[in-house]
Amino acid sequence: MSEATKPSFSIPSILAIVAAIASFFQGATFGLILAVIAIIFGIIGVLLSLSVKKRGGIVSFASVAAGLIGIIAAIIKAMLYMFG
């Protein structure tokens, strides 16, 4: 493969993993928002990775999974805040 046709990571896949990681370091509300953003961008990244010219399918899939875990973590943080 030449340099001109080298596959590159899609922007949504990069944004998805950044949002997924950041969701774990935030409070309940902002962590939930970031987790949802990670899932949305992760799904877009998975769809874009179906193209031969784009990479990031595994990263996008991992960010969707991390986003789901981030939602669970945000719910637990909210319950601890309300009942703890």
Alpha-helix residue ranges (DSSP H) falling in the chain: 11-23, 28-48, 57-83
Query: Could you tell me the pTM of the whole model?
Result: 0.86
5 has a pLDDT exceeding 60: yes
pLDDT of residue 56: 79
SS3 state at 52: coil
The residue to which tokens 């944004």 are assigned: 15
Q: Which residues of 3-39 are buried (b: 16+ CB within 10 A; e: fewer)?
A: eeeeeebbebbbbbbebbebbeebebeebbebbbbbb
pLDDT of residue 55: 82
Please, are residues 19 and 38 in contact by the beta-carbon 8 Å criterion? yes
